Structures are given as structure tokens and as C-alpha cells.
Amino acid sequence: MSDTPILKRVERPLHDYPEQNVQGWERIGSLAGGVLMMGKGLRRGGIFGLVQLAIGGAVLARGITGHCSAKSLLEKSRSDMDLARTRIEEAGAELSKLKTKAEVAAEEAVVKGVDAVTGPKGV
């Protein structure tokens, strides 16, 4: 038999928390709003009270953890849009340079073409 172990130890941190993207007053507002909505949901009862309780719990969890998946998704799409805008602007600048070069080349071709017509013929 071989001396290599069958199982490998995987090193990873104890807690794998997502990055915090909710800070300051936004986090405090989430905590307070979550508690208020949960309280209203408990007092109201019924299906609508249960919905309020669930939403309040989600908002409270957002305030406790400091992470909001919806906000991170929006931030990612915003950064993707900024990257696309930058690439479009760079492509526009490149296109402008190419247009200028094409105009200069066309002018040179016209000048050389006129010189060929007016110049002496080599027969």
C-alpha cells in the first residue's frame, strides 16, 4: 500500500462572511426598520402579518450582517456599466484617430493623382 493519505486537509477560515456593503446610517436604519416591521407583523397577524414579519426579518438580517445581496448586485452592474462606458469612449477615440488618418491619406492620394495627371507622360 502507498504512504499517501486518502483524505487531504482543507484549510479555510472558520467563518466565510461576505463583504460588508451596508454601513453607517443605512445599517442603523435597517436595524430599526426591521425591528419595527417585525413588531407590526406580529401585532397584525394573518397572511399579511406573516409577509411583514418576513420582510422585517430580512431587513433586520441586512442590518445585523452589514451585507445586502441586492446592493452588491446593483454595485456590480454599475461597475460593469462604467467599464463598458470606458471601453466605448476608448473605441470612439480610436475611431476618431482612424478617421483623421483616412482623411489625410485621401488628401495625399488626391494631390498625387492630380500631379500624375498634370505631370509629363513617360512614353
* Run of H or E residues at 100: helix 69-118
**Would you state the pLDDT for residue 20?**
80
Does residue 61 contact residue 34 with C-beta atoms inside 8 Å?
yes
* Run of H or E residues at 64: helix 46-65
**Would you state the pLDDT for residue 83?**
93
- Does the structure show a pLDDT above 80 at 52? yes
**Would you state the pLDDT for residue 111?**
77
- DSSP string over 3-35: SS-SS------S--PPPP---HHHHHHHHHHHH
32 pLDDT band (50/70/90 cuts)?
A: very high
Fill in the amino acid letter for 91.
Answer: A
Q: Tell me the residue ranges of DSSP E strands in 3-104.
A: none
Q: Indicate the DSSP class of residue 20.
A: P
The neighbour count for residue 67, using CB atoms within 10 Å, is 16
User: Under DSSP, is residue 11 helix (H, G, I), strand (E, B) or coil?
Assistant: coil
**Would you state the pLDDT for residue 54?**
95
Mean pLDDT of 8-32: 77
**Would you state the pLDDT for residue 109?**
81
**Would you state the pLDDT for residue 113?**
73
Mean pLDDT of 68-75: 86
